[in-house]
Amino acid sequence: MRCTKCRSQEACLEVRRHNAAYCEGCFLDFFRDQVVRAIEHEKMFRRDDRVLVAVSGGKDSLALWDVLLDLGYEAAGLYIGLGIPGYSEPSREKCEAFARAHDARLIVVDLAEEYGLGIAETAQRTARAPCSACGLSKRYLFNKVALDHGYRVVATGHNLDDEAATLLGNLLHWQTGYLARQAPVLPEDDGLVKKVKPLYRLAERETAAYAVLRGIDYIVDECPMSRGAKSLLYKDLLNQLEAVSPGTKQSFLFGFLEKARPLFHEREAVELHPCERCGQPTTTPLCAFCRLREEVARPRRPRGRRHRRPASAPPGPPAPRPAERPVIPLIPVET
Ligand code: AMP
Ligand code: FES
Ligand code: ZN
């Protein structure tokens, strides 16, 4: 099949929701166009804004950093070491290698070293699921580090699949507060920097294809702590729908953003004030991050015999999940 844009090259990637198939060059143009459209249409940032890109070492956030640099934006990276054995180290190395290769600034903050809050340990010491402690800590640090270093915008690598899966989860549980805040742009507020998601128009397989075509070396393994996470199930379900009916994910998300989100948004205005301990904006006297630190610092009651794990299953996070299949996103085009 020929590329539907240039009509001269062989197509290497089909984008069924757009009724298109692209050759390598036209796919990269399509990818950049979608990012530019997101940035401009949603007024994410201007040409002269300095952007802090939150990078995990995975395909999405490194693809985002790459495309922003390529488009000429002043974009620095922020990597947060989450203290997940076997996963955090190699993730940081991918970010550092990318920064070196592109001569870009990378800020590294280590949760365990700087705050005594490594996710594996925090999950063991508190009743929280690892992903909840992780999400909370990341949100806090994105804002704090951006403010400390004079960035007014933080960009994350959330893509169309991430956003559609989050939307499905929030709808299934009628999380009206989260629905009100689910958007490609969260504006600056008292003490909160602007948060933007420039990849929200692009599917996960497209960010993977971009990363491969641009020669980006990213971490393929999933976070070992996310095993069994509901978000993976939601993505799977949406992919099944998408396979039967291309465009479902996009119309689900875009339809919500246009038609339904404003209804939730108006009802959920909240008042922010500085956290009594750290000064970061919060709705409660102590912010969630300071409460988490308190919880972790609290002395633990010794465990009774009944609760001890058998010697064959030592406590600690599961080993990183090996890539079940290599990410080869250049799916052959049906002829
Ligand atoms: P996740 O919540 O793991 O799906 O990641 C969503 C986005 O958060 C990624 O695309 C990154 O932009 C950002 N992110 C995730 N993990 C980290 C990390 N360790 N350091 C900095 N940013 C991260
Ligand atoms: Fe947060 Fe895995 S990246 S728990
Ligand atoms: Zn605080």
Q: Residues 202-233: pLDDT tens digits? A: 999 999 999 999 999 999 998 898 877 889 99
Contact between 183 and 257 under an 8 Å Cβ cutoff? The reply is: yes
Taking 50 as the threshold, does the pLDDT of residue 126 lie above it? yes
> Any idea where the domains of the chain sit in the sequence?
41-216+246-298
Sheet holding 194-196, edge to edge: 106-110, 74-81, 50-54, 153-155, 194-196, 185-186
Amino acid at 209: A
In 116-213, which residue ranges form alpha helices assigned H by DSSP?
A: 119-125, 130-148, 160-172, 176-181, 204-213
Residue 235 has a pLDDT of 97
Residue 264 has pLDDT above 60, yes or no: yes
Please tell me the predicted confidence (pLDDT) of residue 334. 33
- Band (323; pLDDT cuts 50, 70, 90): very low
The preferred substitution site among 55, 56, 94, 143 for testing ligand 1, maximizing ligand atoms within 8 Å of CB, is: 56
Q: Whose CA is nearest to atom 4 of ligand 2?
A: 131
Quote the CA–CA distance of 46 and 136 in Å, as a whole number: 28
Q: Is 225 in the pocket of ligand 1 (CB under 6 A)?
A: no
Structure confidence at residue 201 (pLDDT): 98
DSSP-based three-state secondary structure for 105 = coil
Burial label, 275 (beta-carbon count in 10 A; 0-12, 13-18, 19+): buried
Can you tell me the mean pLDDT for 173-196? 94
d(CA 180, CA 224): 30
Q: What's the CA gap between 329 and 306, in Å, rounded?
A: 48
Q: What does the pLDDT read at residue 227?
A: 74
d(CA 91, CA 220): 9
Q: What share of the chain in percent tops pLDDT 70? A: 88
Structure tokens of 98? Answer: 């990318």
User: What is the fold of 41-216+246-298?
Assistant: Rossmann fold (3.40.50)
pLDDT at residue 269, rounded to an integer: 65
- Alpha carbon 56 to chain centroid, angstroms: 8
**What local confidence, expressed as pLDDT, does residue 267 receive?**
61
Q: Is the distance from the beta carbon of residue 231 to the nearest atom of ligand 2 less than 6 Å?
A: no
Q: Whose CA is nearest to atom 10 of ligand 1?
A: 157
Q: How far is the CA of 223 from the centre of ligand 2 (A)?
A: 6
Could you tell me the two tokens for 43? 């007024």
Mean pLDDT score across all residues of the chain: 89
Atom of ligand 2 nearest to the CA of 131: 4
Task: Record the tokens describing residue 68, joined without a space.
Answer: 């922003």
Residue nearest to atom 3 of ligand 2 (CA): 223
Which DSSP state fits 56?
Answer: -
Q: Which residues, 6 or more positions from 333, have their beta carbon under 8 angstroms from its beta carbon?
A: 1, 11, 12, 13, 14, 21
What CA–CA distance (Å, rounded) separates 130 from 43? Answer: 34
Name which residue leads in pLDDT, 333 or 101: 101
Helix axes 59-70, 204-213, angle to 10 degrees: 60
Distance of CA 174 to the CA centre of its chain: 22
Query: Does any ligand 2 atom lie closer than 6 A to the CB of residue 130?
Result: yes
Check if 51 has its Cβ closer than 6 Å to any atom of ligand 1.
no
